[in-house]
């Protein structure tokens, strides 16, 4: 059992393959956080706490005259606002009398076999998905991971005896992951308002840490930033109703000297797609607190008597071998125990999306022409993006009217889909279910279904509004119209897009005092609809998207196993975007396409080979007008697709290694995929700069077997030599040239 409870000391020790997490209900019933890090003896780590009489750090009443016991200085597992701990809190409630001071104490606990799940919310799962295993036998190595998990639920009660706080822990031993979630249960006779509830709090007694975060904007998401924690709070978050392009709900704390391959680091990933806050605080006693949960700004949730509220799950991991290992823990867990359904293990199709090729300017014949060339190239799935429905020849109208524009297509959707299937391709289609244009039949019929605040002009974005997905009637209407379309033709893929941030949150379905629930209910509504969609169409591949990577988070991955990474398809820009994304998410989740040049977003020209090198390190597809390609280009593309299919398992399920940082790399940027058993690797290199008469360039490989011999371009090298001495790289003849170098272990003699 990965969960130990010592009843004498009331000590909880949770262990995974390489990490340990410990808590203790102390003599007052306060739940202390005593350890998160390297796995070791299940010793009581509370010995590290120094108790002292500290001015202006108050003492709980039941500590009597002990002036050395203060919640303000103790490492706490779930600190509540108003308890005498003045650091950022994990919980703030408003009691029926309007007060907020709250003190939580241990009541009981329960240990269960297997991993808990959460009603209506994404959560890592335990049991291998039977259905997924049935589809492809044997599943590639990186797809299999028989995780054995246990659940611990610790119940705290507030000292006024009005509600319970159930702290959920999932201990996923083999995956090296500990999950956390929280449930508040009102057992009083009055309404209780949750004003802030964080899913994670981890207190570090000492240490100097760096905070690693991922910031950005539309078409430039998840840039990597590392900064030392200073006294005070440093936070990232979103109040946009989505996890956002601007900050990602994935954070890392590390020691100052932690590198890709060495040192301690701690990853915190939030399985949630709405507002979030990640906050790190270095306090007066040089202790560090990390909090992650729903952003409190747009949140106030009423829990009625006998009701429960569930705060979303967060996944935590620890690595003693640097950031690379930490990322690989999340890659494995998300690939195998977050993404669900048959697409977890089944090969995903190489697709052609028509968006950057034709935008809104197409008809059925044009699409068929594109599909015909695509089929010749070896592409497997044709995706019709925006513009096929309602009055939608520009992005100013039609959203919400999910009826096929047969006049524009010149045929029915079934006829189009049948023709595309006739060419040997699968067929996919774009939706933006949450969006609505004022110029749409839906808006004219139901203006009250869009988020607008009574008496205030709404904030438009891309000239559109958003539907109130917190309302079941609105969701049902949209769901039934989407199903009508999906049922009218053979459709194997759906792209779920969202092209603005939320604003003007007001739901006609809720009374004034409950308007603070709208943002969270919107996300629950989104999850509810995605769940229904995946249940009804279990074979459909759903790709998430929000103007590219505006909702690239672990919550969405539970429903959509891949997400369009960014609207920026420039290969060089994508290096940084995919590099940043790789810290928390596997390449199998990163939607990535080869587009035409000059690039639409940057006007940059990059070699077609380089565009493929970058797109192959994702779900791989094309997004251009194939009819405009030259014969030479078509020949190259055919070879690229063949090559991707050959390396599919290695890329999608192999271990991913960041070899350089594209923003600081010295001329050549590299990354690598290595088979779990070290039997082969694929080294990807992009020349960011070229210098005539320049120095030689080497790249040290990782993840090989030191004692084996490897073949690289017909030369043989020992594994340790490739990892320590490195591989001498070819000299790039032009800027942005790239190389894909296959390294294969020779059979043992």
Choosing from 185, 255, 441, 633, which is the catalytic residue?
633
Query: Cα separation of 288 and 676, whole Å?
Result: 35
Query: Cα separation of 180 and 178, whole Å?
Result: 7
Residues 6+ apart with CB under 8 A from 229: 208, 209, 210, 211, 253, 280, 282, 288
* Residue among 169, 172, 165 nearest 310 (CA): 165
Task: Report, in Å, the least distance between residue 629 CB and ligand DGJ.
Answer: 20
**Which of helix, strand or coil describes residue 379?**
coil
Whose CB is nearest to ligand DGJ? 386
Task: Report, in Å, the least distance between residue 547 CB and ligand DGJ.
Answer: 5
Task: Report, in Å, the least distance between residue 549 CB and ligand DGJ.
Answer: 8
SS (H, E, C) 404-425: ECHHHHCCCHHHHHHHHHHCCC
For the chain, state the CA radius of gyration: 27
Nearer to ligand DGJ (CB atom), residue 327 or residue 546: 546
Nearer to ligand DGJ (CB atom), residue 158 or residue 386: 386
Choosing from 553, 600, 625, 745, which is the catalytic residue?
553
Nearer to ligand DGJ (CB atom), residue 35 or residue 355: 355
Task: Report, in Å, the least distance between residue 398 CB and ligand DGJ.
Answer: 11
Tokens of 9: 């000391």
Nearer to ligand DGJ (CB atom), residue 355 or residue 673: 355
Edge to edge, the sheet with strand 3-6 lists 3-6, 11-15, 19-25, 31-38
Q: What does the DSSP assignment read for 19-39?
A: EEEEEEE-TTS-EEEEEEEE-
Contact 611, 571 (CB under 8 A): yes
Cis peptide before 279 (omega within 30 of 0): no
Nearer to ligand DGJ (CB atom), residue 499 or residue 588: 499
Query: Cα separation of 227 and 608, whole Å?
Result: 36
Tokens of 343: 């697409």
Task: Report, in Å, the least distance between residue 386 CB and ligand DGJ.
Answer: 4
Nearer to ligand DGJ (CB atom), residue 547 or residue 662: 547
Edge to edge, the sheet with strand 163-172 lists 104-113, 149-158, 163-172, 177-186, 308-319, 265-270, 250-255, 209-217, 220-228
Give the CA angle between residues 567, 571, 572 to the nearest 5°. 110
For residue 570, what are the CA distances in angstroms to 219, 582, 657?
10, 17, 22
Nearer to ligand DGJ (CB atom), residue 326 or residue 429: 429
Nearer to ligand DGJ (CB atom), residue 85 or residue 395: 395
Tokens of 101: 């001071």
The 10 Å Cβ neighbour count of residue 396 is: 14
Nearer to ligand DGJ (CB atom), residue 567 or residue 737: 567
Task: Report, in Å, the least distance between residue 338 CB and ligand DGJ.
Answer: 22
Task: Report, in Å, the least distance between residue 675 CB and ligand DGJ.
Answer: 32
249 burial via Cβ count (<10 Å: 0-12, 13-18, 19+): buried
Nearer to ligand DGJ (CB atom), residue 211 or residue 399: 399
* Residue among 194, 406, 434, 391 nearest 304 (CA): 194
| Interface contacts to ligand DGJ, rule CB under 6 A | 355, 385-386, 395, 430, 497, 499, 545, 547-548, 564, 567
Query: Cα separation of 250 and 417, whole Å?
Result: 39
Nearer to ligand DGJ (CB atom), residue 3 or residue 219: 219
Nearer to ligand DGJ (CB atom), residue 623 or residue 737: 623
DSSP 8-state class, residue 333: H
Contact 2, 173 (CB under 8 A): yes
Number of H helices, E strands in the chain: 14, 38
Task: Report, in Å, the least distance between residue 497 CB and ligand DGJ.
Answer: 5
Task: Report, in Å, the least distance between residue 442 CB and ligand DGJ.
Answer: 17
The 10 Å Cβ neighbour count of residue 661 is: 15
Task: Report, in Å, the least distance between residue 357 CB and ligand DGJ.
Answer: 11
Task: Report, in Å, the least distance between residue 387 CB and ligand DGJ.
Answer: 8
Task: Report, in Å, the least distance between residue 552 CB and ligand DGJ.
Answer: 11
Helix 413-422 to helix 364-377 angle (10° resolution) is 20
Backbone angles phi, psi at 107, to 5 degrees: -115, -50
Beta strands in 385-540 (DSSP E): 426-431, 435-436, 465-466, 493-496
Residue appearing with tokens 């995903």: 348
Task: Report, in Å, the least distance between residue 359 CB and ligand DGJ.
Answer: 8
Contact 671, 703 (CB under 8 A): no
Nearer to ligand DGJ (CB atom), residue 361 or residue 663: 361
Is 625 part of the annotated catalytic residue set?
Answer: no
Is 646 part of the annotated catalytic residue set?
Answer: no
Contact 145, 269 (CB under 8 A): no
* Residue among 647, 719, 536, 670 nearest 142 (CA): 647
Q: What does the DSSP assignment read for 592-651?
A: -EEE-SS-TTT-----HHHHHHHHHTTT-EEES-GGG--HHHHHHHHHHHHHHHHHHHHH
Catalytically active residues, by annotation: 553, 633
């Amino acid at each position: 059992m990965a969960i130990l409870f010592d009843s004498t000391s009331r000590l909880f020790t949770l262990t995974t393959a390489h990490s340990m997490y410990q808590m203790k209900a102390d003599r007052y019933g306060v739940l202390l956080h005593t350890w998160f890090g390297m796995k070791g003896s299940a010793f009581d780590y509370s010995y590290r706490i120094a108790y002292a009489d500290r001015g202006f750090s108050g003492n709980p009443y039941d500590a009597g005259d002990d002036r050395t016991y203060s919640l303000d200085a103790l490492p706490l597992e779930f600190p509540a606002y108003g308890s005498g701990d003045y650091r950022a809190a994990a919980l703030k409630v408003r009691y029926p009398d309007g007060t907020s001071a709250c003190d939580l104490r241990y009541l009981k606990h329960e240990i269960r076999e297997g991993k808990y799940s959460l009603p209506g919310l994404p959560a890592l799962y335990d049991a291998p998905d039977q259905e997924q295993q049935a589809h492809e036998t044997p599943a590639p190595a990186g797809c299999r991971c028989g995780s054995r998990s246990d659940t611990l639920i610790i119940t705290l009660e507030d000292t006024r005896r009005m509600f319970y706080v159930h702290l959920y822990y999932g201990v996923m031993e083999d995956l090296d992951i500990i999950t956390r979630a929280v449930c508040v249960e009102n057992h009083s006779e009055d309404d209780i308002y949750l004003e802030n509830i964080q899913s994670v709090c981890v207190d570090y007694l000492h240490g100097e840490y760096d905070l690693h975060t991922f910031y950005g904007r539309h078409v430039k998401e998840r840039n990597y930033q590392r900064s030392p924690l200073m006294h005070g709070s440093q936070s990232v978050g979103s109040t946009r109703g989505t996890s956002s392009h601007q900050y990602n709900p994935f954070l890392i704390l590390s020691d100052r000297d932690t590198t890709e391959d060495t040192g301690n680091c701690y990853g915190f990933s939030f399985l949630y797609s709405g507002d979030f806050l990640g906050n790190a605080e270095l306090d007066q006693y040089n202790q560090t607190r990390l909090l992650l949960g729903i952003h409190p700004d747009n949140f106030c949730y009423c829990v009625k008597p006998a009701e429960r509220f569930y705060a979303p799950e967060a996944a935590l991991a620890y690595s003693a071998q640097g950031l690379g290992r930490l990322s690989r823990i999340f890659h494995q867990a998300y690939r195998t125990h977050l993404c669900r359904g048959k697409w977890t293990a089944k090969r995903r199709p190489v697709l052609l999306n028509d968006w950057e090729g034709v935008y809104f300017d197409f008809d059925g014949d044009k699409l068929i022409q594109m599909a015909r060339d695509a089929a010749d190239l070896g592409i497997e799935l044709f995706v019709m993006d925006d513009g096929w429905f309602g009055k939608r020849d520009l992005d100013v109208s039609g959203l919400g009217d999910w009826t096929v524009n047969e006049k524009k297509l010149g045929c029915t959707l079934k006829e189009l889909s049948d023709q595309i299937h006739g060419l040997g391709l699968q067929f996919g289609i774009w939706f933006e279910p949450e969006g609505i244009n004022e110029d749409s039949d839906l808006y004219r019929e139901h203006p009250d279904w869009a988020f607008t605040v009574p008496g205030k002009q709404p904030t438009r974005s891309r000239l559109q509004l958003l539907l109130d997905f917190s309302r079941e009637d609105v969701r049902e209407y949209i769901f039934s119209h989407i199903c009508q379309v999906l049922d009218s033709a053979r459709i194997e893929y759906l792209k779920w897009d969202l092209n603005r941030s939320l604003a003007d949150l007001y739901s006609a379905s809720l009374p004034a005092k409950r308007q603070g629930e709208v943002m969270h209910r919107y996300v629950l509504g989104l999850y509810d609809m995605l769940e229904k969609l995946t249940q009804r169409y279990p074979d459909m591949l759903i790709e998430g998207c929000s103007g590219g990577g505006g909702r690239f988070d672990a919550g969405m991955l539970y429903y959509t196993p891949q997400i369009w990474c960014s609207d920026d398809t420039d290969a060089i820009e994508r290096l940084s975007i995919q590099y940043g994304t790789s810290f928390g998410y596997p390449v199998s989740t990163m939607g990535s396409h080869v587009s035409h040049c000059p690039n639409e977003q940057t006007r940059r020209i990059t070699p077609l080979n380089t565009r493929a090198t970058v797109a192959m390190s994702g779900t791989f597809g094309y997004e251009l007008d194939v009819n405009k390609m030259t014969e030479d280009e078509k020949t190259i593309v055919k070879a690229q697709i063949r090559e991707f299919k050959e390396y599919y398992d290695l890329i999608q399920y192999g271990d991913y290694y960041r070899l350089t940082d594209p923003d600081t790399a010295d001329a050549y940027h590299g990354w690598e995929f290595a088979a779990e058993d070290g039997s082969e690797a694929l080294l990807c290199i992009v020349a960011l700069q070229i210098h005539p008469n320049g120095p030689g360039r080497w790249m040290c490989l990782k993840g090989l077997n030191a004692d084996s011999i490897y073949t690289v371009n017909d030369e043989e090298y020992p594994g340790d030599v490739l990892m320590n001495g490195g591989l001498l790289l070819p000299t790039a003849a032009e800027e942005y040239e790239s190389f894909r170098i296959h390294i294969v272990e020779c059979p043992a003699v």
